[in-house]
Amino acid sequence: MNTSYSSSLANKPLTHLNLLEMKQRGEKITCLTAYDASFSALIDETGIEVILVGDSLGMVVQGHATTLPVTLDDIIYHTRCVMRSCQRALVIADLPFMTYSTPELAAQSAAQLIQLGGAQLVKFEGARIDIVAFLVKQGIAVCGHLGLLPQFIHQIGGYKVQGKACDSADKLINDALALQKAGVSLLILECVPAELARKISEQLHIPVIGIGAGADCDGQVLVVYDMLGISTGKRPSFSKNFLSETNSIEGAFKIYYNAVKQGDFPTSAHSF
């Protein structure tokens, strides 16, 4: 079965409610990061439902060793670039390190991503229930991010799988439920065991998008440079070079889209 994007769906902008409906009918959600207008257009034309302007741009675009140097202005600039050529995909923008240390600062930063960047949702790392509640009260749609939190890299001490021990797995489940209760519309789970991600996806009614979190999440996200094999660093083991199977970037996006829709990606080789 070829699940290629149907042109009948073209140009109708998606909202998080469409993603909720996809979860309810068991259709996998596809997401890639993008940082510029050209990639955004190609991803959007493929039918991929969500574009994330991630602070991963600090590593794959700017060449830093971590995401920590990324500024709010960087994300605003790249979100504007992405928005100029995106017709249909839902666009999420990351709140960078230290731009959401208090609920008030988070609201000011999120307002800039929405008003100046054009983002529909903002994402931040960690179980900051106070921040979610405050943002949601202002009418801001929020995406949570649990599991491996790259902005906490110096505390974690390395890019490691999270939630392997029983107590940390229980904490992740409780944090996910608390974020949902506080009002997040979506949750990204990064680098957690596939079995734990399956449990969290089943327990939450909101969509859960995984990266290195196994096949049973409601959707998948990858960093676009990793899945094209053009990142300067080592490709993470949970990612896959989709460009090696075709001779065009559009082709790689289509293969990724179909593989996620059909449950062919990720395999156990890309999971923990």
Q: Does 55 contact ligand KIV by CB under 6 A? A: yes
Q: Which of 5, 28, 33, 163 is the binder for ligand KIV (CB under 6 A)? A: 33
Beta-sheet pairing, 50-53 with 90-94: parallel
Whichever of 67 and 180 has its CB closer to ligand KIV, that residue is 67
245 is catalytic: no
CA distance 61 to 57: 5
Q: Does 59 contact ligand KIV by CB under 6 A? A: no
Contact letters for ligand KIV, residues 71-100 (x by CB under 6 A)? -----------------------x------
Whichever of 10 and 156 has its CB closer to ligand KIV, that residue is 156
Q: What are phi and psi of 18, to 5 degrees?
A: -65, -35
Cβ–Cβ under 8 Å, residues 199 and 19: no
**Among the options 21, 49, 190, 245, which is catalytic?**
190
Q: Does 106 contact ligand KIV by CB under 6 A? A: no
Whichever of 42 and 209 has its CB closer to ligand KIV, that residue is 209
Q: What is the DSSP string of 194-244?
A: HHHHHHHHHH-SS-EEEESS-TTSSEEEE-HHHHTT--SSPPPTT---SGG
Q: Does 189 contact ligand KIV by CB under 6 A? A: no
Q: Candidates 50-58, 155-163, 233-241, 262-270 — which segment interacts with ligand KIV by CB under 6 A?
A: 50-58
Q: Is 133 exposed, middle or buried (0-12, 13-18, 19+ CB in 10 A)?
A: middle
- Residue 147 three-state SS: strand
Which residues have a Cβ under 8 Å from the Cβ of 135 and sit 6 or more positions away? 103, 106, 107, 110, 122, 142
Residues of the shown chain interacting with ligand KIV in the complex, contacts defined by CB under 6 A: 33, 52, 54-56, 94, 188, 190, 211, 221, 223
- The catalytic site residues sit at 190
